[in-house]
Every structure is written in structure tokens, then in C-alpha cells.
């Protein structure tokens, strides 16, 4: 068996150890005579999986006791709507930090639901940087401030977060959750689709402070209310049980690797190889994001000619590299280097980049 050098943006690489463990348990989960997928979500065995996914997340991410961990469906895209539905207060507005494609999608949904305001924008710089903390203005009537901690398409990442005082800070961490330690107590809500850094698609993690899960408007249907899922331990309806199980295995894997601080170091080592290949290419490769905002999860870069970019993608695929084509909206090249992408894949890519330059520079 050969495993591809997988740089997909999402769904993305899952640790080989996790896939093998799932394979071992696939047909007969813990002697039950059936797979986890065939089991009642009310069974003791599944409840264990549901609880373990939550408690490992708490442990690894340092989530304080006054937060709930919810395991929901509908992806981060559903949170774009659920957040403003539940959290924009009468007379209030959702404040958004505009940093690229994902922030824009979040804002668009909020606009359908209530009043919104733009608290900062880096559009003038084509979203190739994150704003400084001093650029972010939280209006008096803000019900919350929403930001995207890592812009998966542009390849930019926040390195610090604004102090918003009493206004809840909300972060879409879909593409960098558990890639580095974060002080969760600075946030009102953190949410993330699982398919980048936590496992397969199908489950969305929502970490929400107690008080924010309470006073949702009475008119919101049950499935879209945070309190519904809080009260039922994320078992209000049938959960995506196989996805939750896979997330629990990925969390065990992160723990065995030494935790989130170790992940960050590993991610720094991995991305340095590729950013160095860009910076030391004498201008053959051009990094897209401004250096102070460079992401440790999605490395975006270009070659001076689109012809060569096409050739780069074609030849890289022949060599076993997958997913290096930039997002269709922005073009260019992108390497996604989530937690589960091994160092060896990044070493191989850096080598391929140097060789490609030698042949075409
Ligand atoms: C992928 C992604 C999303 C969309 O997630 P879905 O689970 O597909 O809805 C939202 N935000 C960011 C930052 C992403 O990377």
C-alpha cells in the first residue's frame, strides 16, 4: 500500500494510525457483534464514545467548566446561521471581522437573520493579511464579535485575538482548531467542522459558554437552538455516530502525540520546510499571504506563470502529491498542512519544489 502525500484542504488527511484502528474495530466494535454505525445512539457503548469525544476535547483544549461542548451536524456553514439566530439580541447587531472568503460567508448568513456591522476589513489588501488588534472596532450595540481564526482559502491566520470586554468573541476555527494552544476563556463560542483538523466530515464541534446557550429567542425551531443540544448532551436526534467515533480516535491520537502544544511545534516544523522553499527560491515561488499573517495550516503560493502552475500540479500528481491546486476562487497553489499531515509529506514537497524549480527556473 502506498499512501498519497495528502495536502487536501478538506476533507483532509487523517492519521494512518487512526484509520488502522478504525479498520480493526470496523466490523465488531468492542465485542458488540456489530459496528459502531449499526448501534443505537442510546446504547451504553455509544454514550461512552459521545462522552469521550467531549471530555478529550475539554482536556486537550483546556476548556473551562462553564462551557458546553456540543457535537452537531450541518457543518460550520450551519453555524453561520445558528449563531446570529441565537445570539443577536433585540436592538443589537452581529459584528464581523472581514478577512476573506469564509468570513464573508458567515456575514452573508447573519445578514439574512439580523443587523450586522463590519468591525474591521483587510479587503484593501486583498485579504492577504489579518488585521492588527488596533484595527478592530467593536460597536456599542454589538451582540458579539465574529472572526475567522484561519482563512483556509487565502492562507492567513490570526496570531493573537482581540480583547472584546463584555462582548462575546466568536471564532470559526474550522481549519485550525487544536493546531495550537488557545485560551478558550477569551471566547464566547468556538466552532469548527471536523473535516480539517479533527477527523472526517459529518460532525461540527461547538464550544459555547453557559450563559450564551440560555436566552435564545423562543421562536427558533428546536434543532437550531443551542439549549436543545445542551439539555440532551448532543443526543436530541440521531447523531453522526461514526464521525463522532472517528473524532474520538483522532483526539486520542493527539493526546498520545503529547497534546496541542506538541501539535503546534510539529506544525511549525512542517510549515517551515515549505515556507523556506518559497522564500529561498529567489522569487520563483511567491507566497500569497503577508509574512506576519502566514497560516500554519494552509500555505498559499504562486509561480510567476500560470502555465508553470498547471505543470507544477500535473507533475506533482504524478509524484503522488494530492491537493496542491489552489481554491477555484483564487487560483495558484495551496498546501494544507493540518495536524494529521506527516512531516515526511512536507519534506517530500519541499524537495519536489526545489527539483521543479531546478528544471524550470
Ligand atoms: C471549511 C470551512 C468552513 C465550511 O465548513 P463546512 O463544514 O463545509 O460547512 C467554514 N469555515 C472555515 C474557516 C472553513 O475552513
- For the chain, give every domain's residue range: 16-256, 259-360
Given the residues 172, 176, 253, 270, select the one marked as catalytic.
172
> What tens digit of pLDDT does each residue of 272-306 get?
999 999 999 999 999 999 999 999 999 999 999 99
**Does the pLDDT at position 45 exceed 80?**
yes
Q: CB within 8 A of 245, min separation 6: which ones?
A: 22, 36, 49, 53
Name the CA radius of gyration of the chain, rounded: 21
Helix ranges restricted to H, the chain: 16-25, 44-61, 75-87, 101-113, 226-231, 241-256, 260-279, 306-318, 343-360
Averaged pLDDT for residues 351-355: 98
pTM score, whole prediction: 0.98
Distance 326 CA to ligand 1 centre (A): 16
Averaged pLDDT for residues 195-218: 96
Nearest alpha carbon to residue 339 among 196, 190, 228: 196
| CB distance 174 to ligand 1 below 6 Å | yes
> What tens digit of pLDDT does each residue of 2-22 get?
899 999 999 999 999 999 999
> What tens digit of pLDDT does each residue of 143-199 get?
999 999 999 999 999 999 999 999 999 999 999 999 999 999 999 999 999 999 999
Active site residue 253: no
Task: pLDDT band for 107, please (50, 70, 90 cuts).
Answer: very high
Q: Assign domain 259-360 to its CATH architecture.
A: Alpha-Beta Complex (3.90)
Residue 237 in marked binding region: yes
The residue whose CA has the least distance to atom 8 of ligand 1 is: 75
Which residue out of 97, 102, 103, 173 has the highest number of ligand 1 atoms within 8 Å of its CB and is therefore the one to mutate? 102
Please, are residues 209 and 69 in contact by the beta-carbon 8 Å criterion? no
CATH code matching the domain that covers 16-256, chosen among 3.40.50.1240, 3.40.50.970, 3.40.640.10, 2.60.40.10: 3.40.640.10
Residue 152 in marked binding region: yes
Nearest-atom number in ligand 1 for the CA of 76 is 9
Averaged pLDDT for residues 108-120: 98
Given the residues 196, 253, 270, 325, select the one marked as catalytic.
196
pLDDT of residue 356: 98
| CB distance 75 to ligand 1 below 6 Å | yes
Task: pLDDT band for 254, please (50, 70, 90 cuts).
Answer: very high
Helix, strand, coil % (nearest 5) of the chain? Answer: 40, 15, 40
The residue whose CA has the least distance to atom 13 of ligand 1 is: 174
Domains 16-256 and 259-360 share a fold: no
Distance 286 CA to ligand 1 centre (A): 26
**Does the pLDDT at position 1 exceed 80?**
no
Amino acid at each position: 500500500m502506498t499512501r498519497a502525500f495528502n495536502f487536501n484542504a478538506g476533507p483532509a488527511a487523517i492519521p494512518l494510525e487512526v484509520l488502522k484502528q478504525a479498520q480493526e474495530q470496523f466490523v465488531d466494535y468492542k465485542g458488540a457483534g456489530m459496528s459502531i454505525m449499526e448501534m443505537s445512539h442510546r446504547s451504553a457503548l455509544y454514550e461512552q464514545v459521545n462522552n469521550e469525544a467531549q471530555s478529550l476535547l475539554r482536556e486537550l483544549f483546556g476548556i473551562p467548566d462553564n462551557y458546553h461542548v456540543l457535537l452537531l451536524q450541518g457543518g460550520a456553514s450551519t453555524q453561520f446561521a445558528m449563531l446570529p439566530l441565537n445570539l443577536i439580541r433585540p436592538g443589537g447587531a452581529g459584528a464581523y471581522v472581514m478577512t476573506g472568503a469564509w468570513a464573508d460567508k458567515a456575514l452573508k448568513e447573519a445578514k439574512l437573520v439580523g443587523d450586522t456591522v463590519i468591525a474591521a476589513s483587510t479587503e484593501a489588501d486583498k485579504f492577504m493579511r489579518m488585521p492588527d488588534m488596533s484595527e478592530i472596532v467593536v460597536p456599542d450595540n454589538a451582540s458579539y464579535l465574529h472572526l475567522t481564526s484561519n482563512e483556509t482559502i487565502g492562507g492567513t491566520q490570526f496570531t493573537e485575538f482581540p480583547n472584546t470586554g463584555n462582548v462575546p468573541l466568536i471564532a470559526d476555527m474550522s481549519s485550525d482548531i487544536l493546531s495550537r494552544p488557545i485560551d478558550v476563556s477569551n471566547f464566547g463560542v468556538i466552532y469548527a467542522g471536523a473535516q480539517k483538523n479533527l477527523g472526517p466530515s459529518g460532525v461540527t464541534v461547538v464550544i459555547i459558554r453557559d450563559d450564551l446557550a440560555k436566552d435564545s429567542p423562543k421562536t427558533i425551531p428546536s434543532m437550531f437552538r443551542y439549549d436543545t443540544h445542551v439539555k440532551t448532551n448532543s443526543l436530541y436526534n440521531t447523531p453522526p455516530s461514526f464521525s463522532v467515533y472517528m473524532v474520538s480516535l483522532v483526539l486520542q491520537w493527539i493526546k498520545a502525540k503529547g497534546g496541542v502544544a506538541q501539535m503546534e511545534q510539529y506544525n511549525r516544523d512542517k510549515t517551515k520546510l515549505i515556507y523556506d522553499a518559497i522564500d529561498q527560491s529567489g522569487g520563483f515561488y511567491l507566497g500569497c499571504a503577508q509574512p506576519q499573517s502566514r497560516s500554519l495550516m494552509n500555505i498559499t503560493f504562486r509561480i510567476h506563470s500560470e502555465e508553470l502552475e498547471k505543470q507544477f500540479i500535473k507533475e506533482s500528481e504524478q509524484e503522488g502529491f494530492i491537493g496542491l491546486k489552489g481554491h477555484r476562487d483564487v487560483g495558484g497553489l495551496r498546501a494544507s498542512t493540518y495536524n494529521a499531515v506527516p512531516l515526511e509529506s512536507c519534506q517530500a514537497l519541499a524537495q519536489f519544489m526545489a527539483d521543479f524549480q531546478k528544471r524550470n527556473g
